[in-house]
Amino acid sequence: MTNALISDHLIPMPLTELPAGAIFDCDGTLVDTMPLHFVAWRKTLDDLGHPDIFPETQFYEWGGTPAKEIMERLNEIHGLTLPPHETANIKEEVYQTLIPQVKPLLFVIEEAKRLYAAGVPLAVASGGRRDVVIESLEAVGIRDLFGPVVGSEDVSHGKPAPDVFLRAAELLGIAPELCVVFEDAPAGLLAAYRAGMKAVDIVRFK
């Protein structure tokens, strides 16, 4: 998959035409949580006796990847045997203590509010655990904008597989090709492409 092909599926924001449905990533798209997730990873790994195995650059490269899969990758790279599911849950629990520090990404939320006001059904599809995603949305007062919230436990494969976006479209009752995705991470943009959806790369509009 080339960047050129993905670029062909990218569209500008604000949208010039209303879609049948819109699906938003959460972390780094609606809310500025990525720095807090990195803090949670570092504390978790430090407490488990494995500091410095997850550099910040690598963390951002893997944006959108479920925590369990991240731990599986770290185990493979570093020859570790940390239990992926349990370690991911510890990390999410640490992150939950940081949620009061979450900041909204207002320029994306403004577009979500515009689409909501126009009657476009909205969903959230994230690589994070669903309950944690909902807490983040509630922390900045935007949970009510969205119908379905799809998390990592709702699908078999995380981004860049298209599963989370396809599941969100299914719950909205809208054909995937009629949905637009809002994303900040390369893995998420690739997932949208694989789902047959147009996408907004919100990084281009910061």
Same domain as 54, residue 41? yes
Tens-digit pLDDT profile for residues 71-128? 999 999 999 999 999 999 999 999 999 999 999 999 999 999 999 999 999 999 999 9
- Of the three residues 100, 130, 150, the one that is the final residue of a domain is 100
Same domain as 183, residue 142? yes
* Backbone φ, ψ for residue 149 (5° rounding): -120, 115
Distance of CA 32 to the CA centre of its chain: 11
> Mean pLDDT throughout 170-196?
96
Annotated catalytic residue: which of 25, 32, 163, 201? 25
CB 25 within 8 A of CB 124: yes
Convert 149-188 to b/e letters by CB count within 10 Å (16 or more is b). bbbbebbeebbbbbbbbbbbbebbebebeebbbbbbbbbb
- Of the three residues 55, 76, 100, the one that is the final residue of a domain is 100
Provide the 10 A C-beta neighbour count for residue 27: 24
CB 30 within 8 A of CB 112: yes
Q: What is the pLDDT of residue 3?
A: 64
| Residue numbers of the domain that contains 83 | 34-100
Nearest CA among 101, 137, 115 for reference residue 182: 115
Q: Which structure tokens are listed for 146?
A: 């969205």
Tens-digit pLDDT profile for residues 24-56? 999 999 999 999 999 999 999 999 999 989 999
**Active-site residue 52, yes or no?**
no
* pLDDT-based confidence at residue 10 (cuts at 50, 70, 90): very high
Between 3-12, 28-37, 99-108, 131-140, the lowest mean confidence (pLDDT) is in 3-12
> Mean pLDDT throughout 166-183?
98
Using the predicted structure, report yes or no on whether residue 1 has a pLDDT greater than 80: no
* SS percent in the chain: helix, strand, coil, step 5: 55, 10, 35
- 99 DSSP assignment: G
148 by DSSP, 3-state: which?
coil
Same domain as 23, residue 115? yes
Same domain as 140, residue 197? yes
Nearest CA among 125, 131, 60 for reference residue 95: 131
